[in-house]
C-alpha cells in the first residue's frame, strides 16, 4: 500500500486507482481505512477511492504524544495522501470522526473539494459531559489497553438489529477496532478538543450528501437532519434499521448512495 510522510509522520493509504471521480474516505474511531473494504470491493474499480489511516491507526505511524492529535492534523494527513496520489479535486466522505475531519478539511482545503459526504456525524463540538466521558475512556485505555472499551463501543456503534441478525458484522467490526492504545488516546484527545463546525455549514457551497443510520445511537438521525437543513441543496439519506457504522451494517445501501453521488460529481 502507498505511504507518504506528512510533517514527519508516515501515513499509509489505500488507493483503488479506479478511473471515475475521486473520493477521499475518512475513517471513524477506533477503526482505520480497513472499514472501507466493502466500498473498495463494490466501487473501487469504477471510482478513485483513497482512504488514509490517520496517525495511530492501521498501518500509519503510532505517535505517542496525544497533543499532536487534532482534526487539523488528520485533515493535513489526508491532504498529504491526496497530493501523493496526484489527485487535486475530490469528493470528501467522512464517517463520524471522519466527518469531524472532513469539516477540518473543508476549512483548510476547500478549493480541492468537489463534494461532501457526511455520514453518521455531527457539526457540534463535544458537550462537557462527553469530554468527561472521553477523559475516562483515555484513562481506561491507558491502564488496561483498548480492550477496556471494546464491548461498550460495539454496543454503541452497531444497531440492535445488526447485533442480533448479523454476527459476522459484529466480528468484522471487533477486528477493525484492533488499533494501538496511543491511537485511541490520541483520537479521543482530537475529538474532545475539536472545534464546533456549525458556523461552517452555511459556507458549504458544494453538492453534499448526508447519510445516517436510522438507529444511530452515537450521532442520532436528528443531528443529520440538522446538517441537511443547514447545508444548502444537500440531500439526506436515512438507512433503515442501521446504527452508527452504516457503511458496514448495510454496505449495499451505503455504496449505492455513494455511487449515485459520485456518478453525478
> Mind spelling out the 3-state secondary structure of 133-162?
HHHHHHHHHHHHCCHHHHHHHHHHHCCHHH
Least distance (Å) between residue 96 CB and ligand MLT: 3
Task: Work out whether 242 is an interface residue with ligand MLT (CB under 6 A).
Answer: no
8 C-beta neighbours (distance < 10 Å), count: 8
Taking CB under 6 A as the rule, which mask of x and - marks residues 2-21 in contact with ligand MLT?
A: --------------------
Task: Work out whether 191 is an interface residue with ligand MLT (CB under 6 A).
Answer: yes
CB of 55 or CB of 96, closer to ligand MLT: 96
In terms of C-beta distances under 8 Å and separation of at least 24 residues, what long-range contacts does 127-136 make, across chains too? 130/192, 131/192, 134/188, 134/189, 134/191, 134/192, 135/188, 135/192
Task: Work out whether 218 is an interface residue with ligand MLT (CB under 6 A).
Answer: yes
Burial (CB count within 10 angstroms: exposed 0-12, middle 13-18, buried 19+), residue 239: buried
Task: Work out whether 239 is an interface residue with ligand MLT (CB under 6 A).
Answer: no
Q: Rule CB under 6 A: choose which of 96, 224, 246, 247 binds ligand MLT.
A: 96
CB of 246 or CB of 265, closer to ligand MLT: 246
Q: Rule CB under 6 A: choose which of 43, 92, 97, 262 binds ligand MLT.
A: 97
- Write out the H or E segment, with its range, that includes residue 169: helix 167-176
Q: Rule CB under 6 A: choose which of 29, 69, 106, 176 binds ligand MLT.
A: 29
Amino acid at each position: 500500500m502507498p505511504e507518504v510522510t506528512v510533517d514527519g509522520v508516515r501515513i499509509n493509504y489505500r488507493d483503488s486507482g479506479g478511473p471515475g471521480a475521486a473520493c477521499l474516505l475518512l475513517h471513524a474511531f477506533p477503526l482505520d481505512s480497513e472499514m472501507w473494504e466493502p466500498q473498495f470491493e463494490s466501487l473501487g474499480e469504477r471510482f478513485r477511492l483513497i482512504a488514509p489511516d490517520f496517525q495511530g491507526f492501521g498501518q500509519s505511524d503510532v505517535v505517542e504524544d496525544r497533543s499532536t492529535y487534532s482534526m487539523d492534523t488528520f485533515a493535513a494527513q489526508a491532504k498529504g495522501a491526496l497530493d501523493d496520489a496526484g489527485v487535486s479535486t475530490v469528493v470528501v466522505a467522512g464517517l463520524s470522526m471522519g466527518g469531524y475531519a472532513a469539516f477540518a478539511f473543508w476549512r483548510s482545503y476547500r478549493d480541492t473539494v468537489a463534494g461532501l459526504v457526511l455520514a453518521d456525524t455531527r457539526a457540534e463540538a463535544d458537550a462537557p459531559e462527553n469530554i468527561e466521558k472521553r477523559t475516562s475512556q483515555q484513562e481506561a485505555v491507558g491502564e488496561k489497553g483498548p480492550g477496556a472499551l471494546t464491548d461498550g463501543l460495539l454496543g454503541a456503534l452497531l444497531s440492535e438489529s445488526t447485533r442480533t441478525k448479523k454476527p459476522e458484522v459484529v466480528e468484522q467490526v471487533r477486528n477493525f477496532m484492533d488499533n494501538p492504545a496511543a491511537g485511541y488516546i490520541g483520537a479521543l484527545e482530537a475529538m474532545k478538543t475539536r472545534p464546533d463546525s456549525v458556523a461552517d455549514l452555511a459556507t458549504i457551497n458544494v453538492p453534499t450528501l448526508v447519510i445516517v443510520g436510522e438507529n444511530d445511537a452515537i450521532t442520532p438521525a436528528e443531528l443529520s437532519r440538522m446538517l441537511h437543513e443547514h447545508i444548502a441543496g444537500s440531500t439526506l439519506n436515512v438507512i433503515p434499521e442501521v446504527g452508527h457504522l452504516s457503511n458496514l451494517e448495510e454496505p449495499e445501501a451505503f455504496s449505492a448512495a455513494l455511487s449515485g453521488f459520485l456518478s453525478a460529481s
